[in-house]
Amino acid sequence: MKCKIHAETIERQMERNWPSGVKKTRQRTEIFQILAAAGKPLTATEIYRLINESREGKPYAFSTIYRCLQTFEAAGMLIRSIAVTDENAMYELRMEQHRHYAICLSCHERFPLRTCFLGDLRQMLPADMDGFEITGHQIEIYGYCPACAQ
Amino acid sequence: MKCKIHAETIERQMERNWPSGVKKTRQRTEIFQILAAAGKPLTATEIYRLINESREGKPYAFSTIYRCLQTFEAAGMLIRSIAVTDENAMYELRMEQHRHYAICLSCHERFPLRTCFLGDLRQMLPADMDGFEITGHQIEIYGYCPACAQ
DNA sequence: TTGGTTGCAAAATGTTTGCATGACC
DNA sequence: GGTCATGCAAACATTTTGCAACCAA
């Protein structure tokens, strides 16, 4: 929101990725914008803070945040995940090309990995799991980022 | 515990993998045995149920389970992780060769993958993340197991 | 014996839900 | 105007913590 250069691309992103079945409300729009502006996974609490600290008047309720995120997830607009090294769910707008992250154990920052190098995931399934229907996967690398490594 | 064939291997596993710094108590021993017998990640609640349903008298407290698991983790005896598709932490005894899982979105069963095919993880780090010190990684495949796929 | 561990209860946290009010289409 | 989303508060589930009693080394 601070960066006007991104403002219209977020608008466009919203137009393109907002299913017609999902009603637009002030709260939902702002949550979407926060996520789009962040460009990385956020927790519900982070979203709550980000959205309410830039507002005067009554803050949006936590239940609203959670319900919107559930709606978005059900509509396929975002992906909910939990990092190995973390406690809480994180929410990230679904991208054309999905991403994985390197996560710093110290500062908890998430650095997007270059690409998903995984070849044929089916290779990794055991022999008797031929019937397993793969719908997704996740890779995480964790350790210490350059800043924290010292 | 039901299977006597495994009984002594669990004993041996305990002897080998129990650091001398960790005091042995009845509770800790039983938690270790539950985990060893399961051979797969369990949640704190699952451990609580498994350990207490095979006991008469007062059940072990939840706080004890959690504190033991923390102790084990700090001692490097087990690994704590959270699945993308799940809410709660799971605890698994550390194996010589680490494992990854295919997780069924329907029944939540976890099927160990054959091997970790990842080559050089460093390839996946972005160029400016050269200083990132990798200490671990996680791969998960999710979808529907043969039984649930229908 | 003594410090670390357990049990209990209460607190902290993250998330969900019921219901009345209010906003979008 | 009707339906669905919101806000509030209370419920819920998981995990953590304080403190006294207890156990293993």
Please give the model's pTM, rounded to 2 decimal places. Answer: 0.84
Q: Which of the residue ranges A7-16, B23-32, B100-109 would you say has the lowest mean pLDDT?
A: A7-16
pLDDT 10s digits, A28-77 = 999 999 999 998 999 999 999 999 987 878 899 999 999 999 999 999 99
Please give the backbone phi and psi of residue A136, each rounded to the nearest 5 degrees, phi first: -175, 175
Q: What are the boundaries of each domain within chain A?
A: 1-95, 98-150
pLDDT at A3: 46
Among A100, A117, A101, A134, residue whose Cα is nearest residue B142: A134
Beta bridge partners of A134: B143
pLDDT 10s digits, B109-130 = 899 998 766 667 888 898 889 8
Q: What residues contact A140, with CB distance under 8 A and at least 6 apart?
A: A83, A84, A85, A100, A101, A102, A103, B137, B138
Q: Please give the mean pLDDT across all residues of chain A.
A: 88
Which residues of the protein are close to the nucleic strand C, CB under 7 angstroms? A 23-26, 43-45, 62-63, 66-67, 70, 87-89; B 22-23, 25, 27-28, 58-64, 67-68, 71, 87
Give the amino acid at B97: Q
Domain B1-95 shares a fold with domain B98-150: no
Spell out the CATH class of B98-150.
Answer: alpha beta
Cα radius of gyration rounded to whole Å, chain B: 18
Tell me the fold of B1-95: Arc Repressor Mutant, subunit A (1.10.10)
Question: Is B36:B93 a contact under the CB 8 Å cutoff?
Answer: yes
- Calculate mean pLDDT across residues B70-79: 95
Cα radius of gyration rounded to whole Å, chain A: 18
Beta bridge partners of A141: A102, B137
Type and span of the H or E element at A48 = helix A44-53
